[in-house]
C-alpha cells in the first residue's frame, strides 16, 4: 500500500504495474521445508511410542500398561500383554506372607522393603549389604538419557502446560483490555502489576532453590540423583537471571514514571484506531489458537522422535562392571553372612538364558531434531508475521481510506527497505515511540510470563513424578511469552503502523495530509520540549 512505498512524489506518477504474487522463491522454500517436516512427522508417528517415556519398559522391550507389545524375533518373553502391569512397576503389591497376587506371581522370598525412585524400586535393605551396590543402582538410573527424562516430564505435564497456555491467553487479553479501556492510567497499572509479579516470581524461585539445596544437603552422596542436582543448578540460574531482570525492570520503571502523560497520549491514539476497527481484537485470538495447535503438534512429534529408536538384543553378561558384577558382589565384606543367611542368589548363572532388549537411537534420527528446532522458530515467526501483516494492512487501509491511494506491489525486501528509509528519516520520533511505548508493551508481556511461570512453579514443584521439572517450567514461560507477544503485539503493531502511515502521508501529501491530525506527528517536538529545549510550538514531523 502507499504507506509502505516510501518513494518520492514523482514515483507516484509512474504507471501501475500488473499485480501478482511476490516472494515466490521464499514461499516455495517454506512449503518445501514443511513438506520435509511432514515426512519426519510421519516417520516419528509410525516408529515412535511416547508412552514408553512415562510407563517405562522391561528388560524384554515390553512397554508397561500396554496390551499389544511388538514381538522381537524369537524372543519368547517379548510381545507380552502388560495391560495388567502397572506403569513403572507396583512394588507394594506383594508382601512377605503370600506368593501370588492379582497382578501375577510375587518375587522369590525374602522380599525387601523398597522406596520408589523415578518409577523404579530401590531396596532399602541393600544399604545393609554394601554401599557399592546401592551406588551402582543409583548410577544405573543416572545413566538414563537426559533428553528422555526431559521429554518424559513434558509428556507428563502436557495437560498443565495446555492449561497454563490458556491462562497466559486470558492474562494477555486482560492486559490489552487495560490498554484500551484505561489509557490514562495504563502506565501506572502496568508498572505496578509487573513489579509485583516479577518480585513475587523471583522470591518464589529463590525459595524453591533453597528447598532443593536443603534436601540435597541431607541426602547421602551415594543416593544423589543427577536430576536433583540439575534442578538445583537450573533454579540457581533461574533465580539469578530473574533477580537481574527484576532489578532492571524496576529501575527502568522508576525512570518511565516521568513520561506518564506522553504514554497516555500514545495509547489514546492507538485506542482511537482500534475503536473503529474492533474486529482486530479477534486476530490475536486466532493467532493464539494457531500457535497452540502448532506447539501441540511440535511437542507431540518431538516426543515421538525421542522414542523412534530400534531394539537391540544384548546378553546379560554385557552388564559386567554394573550391578551384577561378581567383583562388586565380592566386596560385600562383613555383610557376606547376611547374604548367605538369606540365601540371596546374585550369581550370573540364573541370567544366562536371558537375552535382553535395549532401545538404541539411530544417529541419523538426531538430525531430524534440528529440522524441528528450526521449524519451531520459523513457523512461529511466520504465524506472528501473518498477524502483523493483517493488522498493519487493516490499519493502513483505515488511515488512507478515501484518499484513493495507489498500490505498488513489491517484494518483501524492497518494501522493507522503503519502510526502513522512511523510518530512518524520522529517527528521533522512532526512538521516542520504541523507547517508551514498546517498553510498556514489553512490561505487559513480562507480567503475563511472570504470573504464568509462578503458577507453573507452584503446581510442578510438588509433583514427585517429575524428574527435572525446571524444564517444563521453562517451556511454560517460553510459550506464555510467545502467546503474550502475539496478543499484546496488537497494540505494538497498531502504533508502529500508524507512525509509518504518518511518515508516508507527509511524504506523499505534504502539508495537506491527514498526518497533522495525529498526535504521533507531534511526539518528537513534545519530547524535545520536555527535555528543556526552547521551542514553544509543537513542530510537525519531518520539519
* Sign of the torsion formed by the C-alpha atoms of 135, 138, 144 and 148: negative
- pLDDT of 35 higher than 90: yes
Cβ atoms of 466 and 231 within 8 Å: the answer is no
Q: What is the SS3 string spanning 62-103?
A: CECCCCCCCCCCCCCCCCCCCCCCCCCCCCCCCCCCCCEECC
In this predicted model, what pLDDT tens digit does every residue of 109-123 receive, in sequence order? 444 444 444 444 444
pLDDT in tens, 420-475: 676 666 666 666 666 677 778 888 888 899 999 889 888 887 777 776 778 888 88
- What pLDDT is attached to residue 344? 46
**3-class SS at 111?**
coil
C-alpha distances in Å from residue 401, one per residue of 19, 395, 396: 20, 10, 8
CB 395 within 8 A of CB 273: yes
Q: What is the dihedral of CA 136, 139, 140, 141, to 10 degrees?
A: 130
505-530, pLDDT tens digit by residue?
Answer: 766 666 665 655 665 555 544 544 44
CA angle 268, 271, 275 (to 5 degrees): 140
Q: Which residues contact 123 (CB under 8 A, 6 or more apart)?
A: 112, 113, 114
- Please identify which residue in the block is written with the cell numbers 508498572: 191
Average predicted confidence (pLDDT) for the chain: 68
What ranges do the domains of the chain cover? 28-88, 156-299+369-401+412-523
For residues 174 and 249, what is the distance between their CA atoms, to the nearest angstrom?
21
Tell me how many degrees the CA angle 496-497-500 measures, rounded to the nearest 5: 90
User: Cβ(64)–Cβ(86) under 8 Å?
Assistant: yes
Beta bridge partners of 191: none
Determine which of 171-180, 263-272, 300-309, 449-458 has the lowest per-residue pLDDT on average. Answer: 263-272
Lowest mean pLDDT among 39-48, 112-121, 326-335, 345-354: 326-335
Q: List Cα–Cα distances, 178 to 175, 401, 441, in angstroms.
A: 5, 28, 11
Provide the 8-state DSSP code for 434: I
> Which grid coordinates are listed for 257?
514514571
Amino acid at each position: 500500500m502507499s504507506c509502505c512505498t516510501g518513494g518520492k512524489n514523482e514515483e507516484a506518477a509512474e504507471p501501475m504495474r500488473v499485480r501478482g504474487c511476490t516472494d515466490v522463491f521464499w514461499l516455495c522454500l517454506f512449503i518445501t521445508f514443511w513438506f520435509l517436516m511432514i515426512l519426519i512427522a510421519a516417520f516419528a508417528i509410525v516408529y515412535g511410542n511416547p508412552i514408553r517415556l512415562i510407563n517405562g519398559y522391561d528388560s524384554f522391550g515390553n512397554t508397561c500398561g500396554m496390551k499389544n507389545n511388538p514381538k522381537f524375533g524369537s524372543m519368547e518373553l517379548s510381545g507380552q500383554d502388560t495391560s495388567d502391569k502397572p506403569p513403572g512397576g507396583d512394588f507394594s503389591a506383594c508382601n512377605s506372607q503370600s506368593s501370588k497376587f492379582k497382578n501375577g506371581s510375587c518375587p522369590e522370598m525374602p522380599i525387601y522393603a523398597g522406596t520408589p525412585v523415578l518409577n523404579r524400586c530401590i531396596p532399602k535393605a541393600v544399604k545393609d549389604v554394601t554401599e557399592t551396590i546401592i551406588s551402582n543402582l543409583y548410577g544405573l538410573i543416572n545413566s538414563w538419557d537426559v533428553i528422555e527424562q526431559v521429554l518424559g516430564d513434558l509428556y507428563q505435564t502436557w495437560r498443565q502446560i495446555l492449561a497454563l497456555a490458556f491462562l497466559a491467553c486470558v492474562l494477555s487479553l486482560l492486559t490489552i483490555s487495560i490498554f484500551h479501556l484505561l489509557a490514562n492510567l495504563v502506565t501506572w497499572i502496568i508498572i505496578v502489576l509487573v513489579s509485583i509479579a516479577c518480585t513475587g516470581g523471583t522470591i518464589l524461585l529463590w525459595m524453591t532453590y533453597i528447598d532443593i539445596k536443603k534436601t540435597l544437603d541431607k541426602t547421602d552422596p551415594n543416593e544423589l540423583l543427577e536430576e536433583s542436582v540439575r534442578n538445583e543448578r537450573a533454579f540457581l540460574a533461574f533465580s539469578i537471571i530473574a533477580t537481574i531482570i527484576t532489578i532492571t525492570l524496576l529501575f527502568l520503571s522508576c525512570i518511565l514514571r516521568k513520561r506518564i502523560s506522553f504514554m497516555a497520549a500514545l495509547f489514546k491514539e492507538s485506542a482511537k484506531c482500534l475503536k473503529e476497527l474492533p474486529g482486530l481484537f479477534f486476530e490475536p485470538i486466532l493467532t493464539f489458537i494457531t500457535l497452540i495447535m502448532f506447539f501441540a503438534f511440535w511437542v507431540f512429534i518431538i516426543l515421538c522422535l525421542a522414542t523412534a529408536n530400534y531394539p537391540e538384543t544384548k546378553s546379560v553378561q554385557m552388564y559386567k562392571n554394573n550391578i551384577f558384577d561378581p567383583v562388586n558382589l565380592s566386596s560385600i565384606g562383613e555383610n557376606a553372612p547376611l547374604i548367605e543367611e538369606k540365601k540371596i542368589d546374585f550369581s550370573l548363572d540364573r541370567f544366562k538364558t536371558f537375552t535382553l532388549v535395549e532401545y538404541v537411537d539411530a544417529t541419523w534420527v538426531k538430525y531430524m531434531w534440528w529440522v524441528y528446532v528450526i521449524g519451531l522458530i520459523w513457523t512461529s515467526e511466520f504465524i506472528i508475521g501473518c498477524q502483523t501483516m493483517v493488522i498493519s494492512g487493516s490499519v493502513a487501509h483505515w488511515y488512507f481510506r478515501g484518499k484513493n491511494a495507489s498500490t505498488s506491489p513489491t517484494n518483501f525486501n524492497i518494501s522493507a527497505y522503503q519502510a526502513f528509509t522512511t523510518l530512518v528519516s524520522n529517527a528521533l520520533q522512532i526512538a521516542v515511540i520504541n523507547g517508551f511505548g514498546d517498553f510498556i508493551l514489553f512490561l505487559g508481556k513480562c507480567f503475563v510470563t511472570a504470573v504464568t511461570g509462578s503458577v507453573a512453579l507452584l503446581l510442578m514443584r510438588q509433583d514427585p513424578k517429575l524428574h527435572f521439572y525446571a524444564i517444563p517450567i521453562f517451556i511454560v514461560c517460553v510459550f506464555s511469552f510467545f502467546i503474550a507477544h502475539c496478543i499484546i503485539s496488537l497494540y505494538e503493531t497498531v502504533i508502529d503502523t500508524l507512525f509509518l502511515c504518518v511518515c508516508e502521508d507527509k511524504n506523499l501529501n505534504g502539508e495537506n495530509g491527514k498526518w497533522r491530525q495525529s498526535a504521533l506527528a507531534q511526539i518528537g517536538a513534545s519530547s524535545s520540549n520536555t527535555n528543556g529545549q526552547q521551542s514553544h510550538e509543537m513542530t510537525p514531523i519531518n520539519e
